[in-house]
Structure 1
Amino acid sequence: MIHDQAEMSDLWYAPVPRRPVGYLHPSRMTAGRFAATACAAARPGHARTGLAARLREHAGRNRCVLTASGRAALELAVRQTGAAEVVMSTFNCPAVADAVLAAGARPVLVDLDHVEGPAFTSVDLDGRAVVLTNALGLDEWRAHAERIEALGGRVVLDLAQASVALRVLRRFRDAACPIVLSFGEGKQLGGLGGGALLTSAQHTSASLVGAGGLRRGGEMAPLRRAVVERIVAHAPGVVRAAVQRGQSRTPGWSYTKADHLPTEAGQVTQGEPSRWEVASAAALLRTASTVADEAALTHERVRSAAAELTTCQPVAADPDFGPGVELVFRRPGQRFLFARALAERGVPSTWNYYPLHRLAPYGAFAAGSMAGADSLWPRVLTVAKQPQPRLTTQLLVEAMVAADRSVREQEAGRD
């Protein structure tokens, strides 16, 4: 897809710290959790049964189908609804649209506002499924589910970006909708991969997951990576800096998202999760609520402090529904300057959103004007909030205040 020069500059990734103080997706694979994962992997059947039972219990669902990924779980959920068309926000991960397409349904993309959320009711919902993904950490269930159901829509709740804390699942015990979870790398659980569909529908069949049983190929690689990342995060600064330099020289490294925008819809991996993916999810779930509590506390403190910033404002998000604190800048161009100032202090940041209606595989599915998303996407930045050494709330707030001042000074110098 061709972009003009101004838009190309908005596609620059947030600079990474040369000497990281923290990480966007810190590994949770401590020595104790590694041992628990190894023990669970030695009894894969027991780990699978225990993980599914615990998720079912807290979500109030009759069935838990463990899948190769959150994307595969979402495909099953869409198939379960039987809907031919699925409404979803254009502010989304391509994997969500890929799962809808894999289920044989047609995505219907709607606009998004960072205050009001997705414009679900801008289209006809009768007989359609609606996927709630909590974009920008907004609680789409609380804001939209009742109205969607009143208009004849069937809700699918995708919690792939949410904390897999048991208290989060308990919120939806009385909600008669399928719930999709993801245990992939970079998710809030911090697992190695895999996903789950929680449902009470009787016709959901495990055979839909696909044949082949447990996946074996390369299943140890994510575990080794998680262990190494944990060690590096606790290493001296010179080690962290050397690792960062090495990563910037690896194939595929890029400073712009333009190099990574999809040109065709992705495939959905079928089958079941590997024994190591199940084992890590089972082990990490034991402490997920504690980690979520710490992240939520950081979220609220940072959001409170960020209210004093002049170049951006935090989104009024639910702390449990996003992996970071989302900031919205007053105008394009400020995001990159702010991120660069944060990186100079060792603080990581990122931006995840490029509206699906602007991508070649999904542009044909846009429904109406997307003015809100078009205005919003160049102005959103995510700041890490997950518990980790060194990246304290005080350090994070101080870095944000300094970055805010730096942006104002640079803009004043250009005037």
Structure 2
Amino acid sequence: MILDRTEPSDLWYAPPPRRPVGYLHPSRMTAGRLAATMGAAARAGHARTDLAARLREHTGRKRCVLTATGRAALALAVRQTGADEVVLSTFNCSAVADAVLAAGARPVLVDADPERGPAFTSVDLTGRAVVLTNGLGLDEWSAHAARIAERGGQVVLDLAQAGVSPSVLRRFRESGCPIVLSFGEGKPLGGLGGGALLTSAPVTGGGGLRRGGELAPLRRAVASRLVAHAPGVVRAAVRRAEARTPGWSHTKADHLPAEAGEVRQDDPSRWEIASAAALLRTASGVADAAAALHERVRAAVAGELTTCEPIAADPDLGPGVELLFRRPGQRFPFARALAERGVPSTWNYYPLHRLAPYARFAAGPMTAADSLWPRVLTVAKQPQPRLTARLLVEAMIAADRSVRDQEAGRG
């Protein structure tokens, strides 16, 4: 059901650029990192041990369990807490709810807004686990962790959307709670798949690697890197081919889940671990560059935009620059104007309480999230050729002007 105050276009995906100058999830698979990945895959057992040791050192945890996916790591973390009910924001990825269900627990969905974050104070936390996912790039640990503990809850910190790098992980060394990571395609680390649970509590499993492991993700990563550096005519041709891919759609309505997704419980493959081990070595520099770009863009557009404004997010904890629009119906024309300048954008979350598999888990009214979801747009910020702070700022200001002119014309 769509609220009356939304527009049909609020369920449309942000249109991709016909001739991209940047990408939402740019590949980090340079020639050097490809060589490092191949070398690590040849010594898969050593790569697994080395990756786990470095993650333990960065987070200060005693144990690291490497998993097939980030959601498998989250399911393991939930089981470790022993909680029968798990509180999470409804403004979230369905994978988080799927992991809770896979752990045999019951999700408890709470409302969320861009200033205070999830409404954890609206429910009893005694004996429950609480998953912090840093939605919209907000630092949920700093804002909520202490009060969650005071009220009898157990925190699980899911950093799947954060820039997984030593500099980010060390921020949470003293937190003490389980930390969940994801190395999947499209995540800030830019890996091929897999995940990890970092904890100091006893935990079983996670000692092996899946035999084989398809090379398709590695080939995609290499191809994406080559395309990003290719001339414009090549990038445009690839974009046209993607639009003809089976299953491609203009609207999220075609992809809303009818049932909860499965969570793989097997071990990660050697290629997933090898790529994560190789990419982690240069992750801090990439994360620092993304954070610097984020801050430059946010500072430059402050006070310049009339239809939206950047959310005051932590630049290390989100994959892009989050824009909050004044009202529904503005997001799509803004994204279309960005695309005309080659700038990619997206919107990630349709509230869980509005999806069939999770609606019964809502803890109460979700008025803030219902108002929020049609008004958020994520603009790419990961380091890549051509996508400079100046280009992003100019594109945002031009898109803002385009939407303002359209609204004036209708008025």
How does the TM-score come out when normalised to structure 2?
A: 0.98
Partner of 2:52: 52
SS of 1:131's equivalent?
Answer: strand
**Percent of aligned pairs sharing the same letter:** 81
Q: Is the 8 A contact 2:320 2:378 kept in 1?
A: yes
**CA deviation after TM superposition for structure 1 residue 260, in Å:** 0.4
For residues 3 and 330 of structure 1, do their structure 2 counterparts lie closer, same or farther at Cα, with a shift above 3 Å needed? closer
Partner of 2:257: 262
Please tell me whether residue 128 in structure 1 is matched to residue 124 in structure 2: no
Please tell me whether residue 84 in structure 1 is matched to residue 79 in structure 2: no
Of 361, 379, 385 in structure 1, the residue corresponding to residue 381 of structure 2 is 385
1:379-411 CA distance string (max 9 Å, x none) = 000000000001111011100010000010010
Partner of 2:246: 251
**Distance in 1 of aligned mates of 2:72 and 2:117:** 25
**CA deviation after TM superposition for structure 1 residue 4, in Å:** 7.2
Q: Is the 8 A contact 1:158 1:179 kept in 2?
A: yes
Q: Is the 8 A contact 2:189 2:280 kept in 1?
A: yes
SS of 1:196's equivalent?
Answer: strand
Bigger shift: 172-181 or 79-88?
A: 172-181
For residues 320 and 16 of structure 1, do their structure 2 counterparts lie closer, same or farther at Cα, with a shift above 3 Å needed? same
SS of 1:319's equivalent?
Answer: coil
Segments of 5+ residues of structure 2 without an aligned counterpart are none
Partner of 1:278: 273
Partner of 2:210: 215
Please tell me whether residue 315 in structure 1 is matched to residue 325 in structure 2: no
Q: Which amino acid in the other structure matches residue 408 of structure 1?
A: R
Q: Which amino acid in the other structure matches residue 290 of structure 1?
A: G
Partner of 2:40: 40
Q: Is the 8 A contact 2:6 2:328 kept in 1?
A: no
SS of 2:145's equivalent?
Answer: helix
CA RMSD in angstroms, aligned pairs only = 1.3
SS of 2:175's equivalent?
Answer: coil
**CA deviation after TM superposition for structure 1 residue 3, in Å:** 7.8
Of 298, 302, 319 in structure 1, the residue corresponding to residue 293 of structure 2 is 298
How does the TM-score come out when normalised to structure 1?
A: 0.97
Partner of 1:182: 182
Please tell me whether residue 144 in structure 1 is matched to residue 140 in structure 2: no
Please tell me whether residue 327 in structure 1 is matched to residue 326 in structure 2: no
**CA deviation after TM superposition for structure 1 residue 8, in Å:** 3.5
Q: Is the 8 A contact 1:157 1:179 kept in 2?
A: yes
**CA deviation after TM superposition for structure 1 residue 368, in Å:** 1.0
1:358-387 CA distance string (max 9 Å, x none) = 000000000111000000100000000000
Partner of 1:205: 204
**Distance in 2 of aligned mates of 1:68 and 1:26:** 22
For residues 331 and 5 of structure 1, do their structure 2 counterparts lie closer, same or farther at Cα, with a shift above 3 Å needed? closer
**Distance in 2 of aligned mates of 1:9 and 1:336:** 6
Partner of 1:22: 22
**Distance in 2 of aligned mates of 1:261 and 1:111:** 20
- The count of residues paired between Structure 1 and Structure 2 equals 410
Q: Which amino acid in the other structure matches residue 222 of structure 2?
A: V
Q: Which amino acid in the other structure matches residue 258 of structure 1?
A: A
SS of 1:326's equivalent?
Answer: strand
Please tell me whether residue 113 in structure 1 is matched to residue 109 in structure 2: no
Q: Is the 8 A contact 1:8 1:258 kept in 2?
A: no
**CA deviation after TM superposition for structure 1 residue 85, in Å:** 0.2
SS of 2:219's equivalent?
Answer: helix
Q: Which amino acid in the other structure matches residue 347 of structure 1?
A: V
**Distance in 2 of aligned mates of 1:101 and 1:389:** 40
**CA deviation after TM superposition for structure 1 residue 173, in Å:** 1.1
